Structure 1
């Protein structure tokens, strides 16, 4: 469905093939299909009719299609086309869903204004300004008894828990909001970062996870939702019972990030029995391996102990994907991210059960290789998904050189044995590579 295939009969046949996929599968690829609309010769095309028909039949597809189209209105070259498609969708879905979309847009606008006011004020006044702004959100819920969040149409919120709301002390000062919901959880409403890149990264990781599970390999990945609602704003689901590695290491003092025991001690504290701890370690080994493979393939950079998190159950996961496809942070002419993926000494301590190598570490490496080769079998799927997003405006995904990074990482032209040898040799050369980072950066080592 890319620009390389303009033949109308070919595109019509591709749409016919897609008609056989289920609604959940279609949701996995919806962002790419919205981008593919740019390459249609006519506004009335088989792809347009396909998407509208499937949106009429499933509210989740209608919901995400609405917000994807809203986000693409910022594309000056194609905004006219997307405006017509959005109008067509609103005509098809009916009055009830149109009113629901209006409420969501109203709520997102209020939250964006609140976030802007919090960001523009002095740090000492931010909490007071946030509480003041959230009163407007409370008034919204007094008029609209409930509203679904753009993040998830299944999440019906009825109020905002003002006392539980705060903000993050990063450059963008995103808000941390807690809504009252049938399934209570917090949602990080981020109105300062461009979440399109995070959204794409998490989509690719979610598809990787589905492939692993379909192949009978459960990597215990933590999959969370992220959705862009416009340039510089969006929503990220927060995972309960999880802390950043920085906070966990901080429990051991200012030198905690240089010690080997913090992660193991923290998991032991939350899993006091032997069986509980062993289960947590197992979750850690699998999820850590999955994260290593995913971040390696996607070239996710700027990894440090503030954007790697750990659940009390032992599941490890990454957040904040502002750098990917090998676009590393630079210190002058030197790349800060020199390791293929982050693997710290305290992670090794959990896996080995101590400070000496054990057979479990070799099992961990074998697990990484198995997960890597399962993704390699679907290399062209991931290259096509990323290729369709070349025109979406993400700065770090703008030309074929960016796609080449993933191609080189997956090595689809090689046999499984050769690719495995490359993967293990490439990562092994970084075994003794320690990056002593400044500020709050942890000491990092790569397998």
Structure 2
């Protein structure tokens, strides 16, 4: 090393400037250890692991990544604890003198995935390819982390470093680099860890190491315990030391004036290592061609047949799938040709580089002359992916001009969610011409009441207010959606919560005007109505004794509550077309469930003022109904899509309204659970449901002994809900949450598990028991064939209209809905995956047939139903 210390090495701090070191940067990958459990498959073991290291300077990659050789994971290791030894030195494609101050390395841990029966010998034979980063074999990202090479004082990392890793399935090199790992349970442990690191470093470099042997062992044990308790993954890395004349030197960052860091450095590595990474020449070509094509030439371009096919393929890609750079450039190239195709607009906006003012100006100009898109396509432009004011304004204008009141009402929950991504023009914000989401806290920090309802007609808040004033149904549900969102965001984001509060207050103010004043008063009365139900049901639940005793107490409390027995034509929050005269106390009932829902019947009159009728609902307290509300919204949407193609699957999208995070209203639909039916007709065994339908609507002339309309209703509804539950991944399906009406319509309730989540192990894709299939009359019957036909047709319709389903779910990822919040980045993908959009129609039909067949033949659900029966038996 070219180091000339000017004084005694033992009496001074020894260091060398980084710019003086012409050696290549090296580090040693020691061990990969810690707590590992695959989030998608907890029993999955690792096969062959390798570590990839990439150097970054000035936030840009330097050269190509370098990799260790792969290591066969020991089959004797018990999950979730593992330790894999590498002990391999790696040389990075840079010298110390060329490092920038912000230089860091990005570690990724990869596993060669052999679950597709790839022979081990083929992997062994291509060992060199794997170690060089080739992608000939399927590899799966296990974990990743970034580590700065210089600390806060500008001193190069030294000694052995425990790099804490984050489990991930997507490489993110520009993620925030991890500092030293921290034990999160108590602040004291963090301080203790820092002391340990310093002492271990001293002990490892001290020439009198034998004097500290006992201390070193104790420290190592304590450190290992802290790492084990953290239940994290760690990569143990040993940094190369700078040594001269048996003395260790620290490397201190220093840059000479007029230094050209890494400007002329060439990586001598194998050029094939760059496969899969950005090509800088292509990136420059991308910028040059876009600039060059900004003139008249692009306006004259017309795609040939091959180009049309390529554009058609791009347009059919799911809205959730990001475009590649090549696809973005291709769409941009033919942007003028695509202007006449409404369905191409969203893909075009995805192809715009919103960081370049020239492109933004061109895109905004084209936006004004583009063929108008449908209202359902405009929803995507209100997502977090589009925050440019012109794009969001255009989306609002399309909703204003192209959406009916029924569509606005259907999309209302998502439009309320989209308010989180809005920008407010009256605030003094210098807008960055970018499509990257602006942090809601910054945007809403100084919003005053006037900004929420901007006089601009392209403002989403203005659009919602105008729609509410013009339609009483929209006003009714908008009020409750805003109230629930205000409560839901109160703790997580007070600024967003305040925004929703101001919106709800402004809604009441707008409705408080002369022509809509009655509706404003009704909304306030609805709030009092819900508050009264909370108080009375809580009081009844507190009473000791059996369920019948508590029911009696509830009826007494209701009869004494004059404000509930005399509601004076209060508009029902659940259904604004219904007006409540008063509750019928003697009809109150407590359900056998953990949260003890309350069934209430009200004397009502419809909106036309007709004769008194009755309306039964369920008031749930202690349950978050937002997830049920979303699923019912999806069922209602699917029902409309089916009927658009003259396919009536007799679905029952009953009304659900969340009035708070822990309470809400549900429409009661008269029906009997399949569990009750099977128990009542148990002597008929597997024919129990069929016998119940015979009793409901007998017809001696019919082949099945049941009225033909009842059988038809059953076949259609069974097919409809099978597809609905499969596409939405609705889980926890058992015989107590599937009901049958006397007219043969079957429907599902209680959607506590969605998107593939299920408390039962290995559930079938669809709930199709032998008892449920027997009313169809056997495999050769017309009803059985109709069932398959209805399923296939419904599935094809949903695949064709997948865009609206995915757009609606995309707008709900930040809604705090339980099963979406668990893995919100995967929520939309799970629906896309079940729709099999990559398949042709014929392939999708074959896939669905296999799903139905496997569901009918599944046997494990029988055990699950028995276990559920046992739990229900001991619930009370």
- Give the alignment partner of residue 674 of structure 2, picking from 245, 253, 265: 245
> Map of 1:350-429 to 2, 5 A cutoff?
350-352=775-777, 357-398=780-821, 399-429=824-854
1:263 matches 2:689:
yes
Q: Deviations over 1:37-88 (max 9, x none)?
A: 1111123451000010011111111111011111111112111000110111
TM-score normalised by length of structure 1: 0.92
Q: Structure 2 vs 1, CA of residues 243 and 430 (structure 1 numbering), >3 Å: closer, same or farther?
A: closer
Q: Deviations over 1:227-275 (max 9, x none)?
A: 00001111100113x111111112124x77xx21111111111112246
> Map of 1:180-219 to 2, 5 A cutoff?
180-182=603-605, 183-219=613-649
> Map of 1:264-413 to 2, 5 A cutoff?
264-273=690-699, 274=701, 277-330=707-760, 335=761, 338-352=763-777, 357-398=780-821, 399-413=824-838
- In 2, Cα distance between equivalents of 1:194 and 1:233: 6
Secondary structure, aligned partner of 1:177: strand
1:139 matches 2:563:
yes
Name the residue aligned to 2:393. Answer: 12
- In 1, Cα distance between equivalents of 2:638 and 2:526: 30
- In 2, Cα distance between equivalents of 1:61 and 1:429: 43
TM-score normalised by length of structure 2: 0.48
Residues 34 and 68 in structure 1, CA contact (< 8 A), matched pair in contact too = yes
- Give the alignment partner of residue 405 of structure 2, picking from 23, 26, 30: 23
Name the residue aligned to 1:36. Answer: 418
Q: Structure 2 vs 1, CA of residues 177 and 426 (structure 1 numbering), >3 Å: closer, same or farther?
A: same
Residues 414 and 808 in structure 2, CA contact (< 8 A), matched pair in contact too = yes
Give the deviation of 1:136 after TM superposition: 4.8
Q: Structure 2 vs 1, CA of residues 290 and 137 (structure 1 numbering), >3 Å: closer, same or farther?
A: farther
Residues 119 and 172 in structure 1, CA contact (< 8 A), matched pair in contact too = no
- In 2, Cα distance between equivalents of 1:388 and 1:127: 41
Give the deviation of 1:140 after TM superposition: 3.6
> Map of 1:87-166 to 2, 5 A cutoff?
87-94=505-512, 95-124=517-546, 125-142=549-566, 144-166=567-589
- Aligned CA RMSD, in angstroms, stands at 1.8
Give the deviation of 1:278 after TM superposition: 1.5
- In 1, Cα distance between equivalents of 2:638 and 2:836: 16
| Count of matched residue positions in the alignment of Structure 1 and Structure 2 | 430
Q: Deviations over 1:276-297 (max 9, x none)?
A: 6221011100010000000000
Give the deviation of 1:185 after TM superposition: 2.5
- In 2, Cα distance between equivalents of 1:430 and 1:270: 28
Residues 137 and 160 in structure 1, CA contact (< 8 A), matched pair in contact too = no
Between Structure 1 and Structure 2, which shows a larger proportion of helix residues? 1
Residues 731 and 756 in structure 2, CA contact (< 8 A), matched pair in contact too = yes
Name the residue aligned to 1:71. Answer: 484
- In 2, Cα distance between equivalents of 1:429 and 1:22: 41
Residues 28 and 207 in structure 1, CA contact (< 8 A), matched pair in contact too = yes
- Give the alignment partner of residue 56 of structure 1, picking from 469, 479, 482: 469
Residues 107 and 137 in structure 1, CA contact (< 8 A), matched pair in contact too = no
- In 1, Cα distance between equivalents of 2:555 and 2:716: 41
Higher mean alpha-carbon deviation, 273-282 vs 171-180, is at 273-282
- In 1, Cα distance between equivalents of 2:801 and 2:544: 49
Higher mean alpha-carbon deviation, 210-219 vs 264-273, is at 264-273
- In 2, Cα distance between equivalents of 1:261 and 1:4: 52
Higher relative contact order (CA 8 A, sep 6+): 1
Q: Deviations over 1:174-201 (max 9, x none)?
A: 1000001134221111122111000000
- In 1, Cα distance between equivalents of 2:619 and 2:855: 37
Give the deviation of 1:123 after TM superposition: 4.4
- In 2, Cα distance between equivalents of 1:347 and 1:138: 46
Any stretches of 5+ residues in structure 1 without a counterpart? 443-447
Give the deviation of 1:369 after TM superposition: 0.8
- In 1, Cα distance between equivalents of 2:562 and 2:677: 34
Secondary structure, aligned partner of 1:180: strand
- In 1, Cα distance between equivalents of 2:771 and 2:854: 19
Give the deviation of 1:428 after TM superposition: 2.1
Residues 138 and 160 in structure 1, CA contact (< 8 A), matched pair in contact too = no
Secondary structure, aligned partner of 2:653: coil
Any stretches of 5+ residues in structure 2 without a counterpart? 1-381, 425-451, 606-612, 871-876
- In 2, Cα distance between equivalents of 1:197 and 1:381: 18
Q: Deviations over 1:345-376 (max 9, x none)?
A: 11211011x6x653431221122111111111
Residues 383 and 406 in structure 1, CA contact (< 8 A), matched pair in contact too = yes
- In 2, Cα distance between equivalents of 1:185 and 1:341: 32
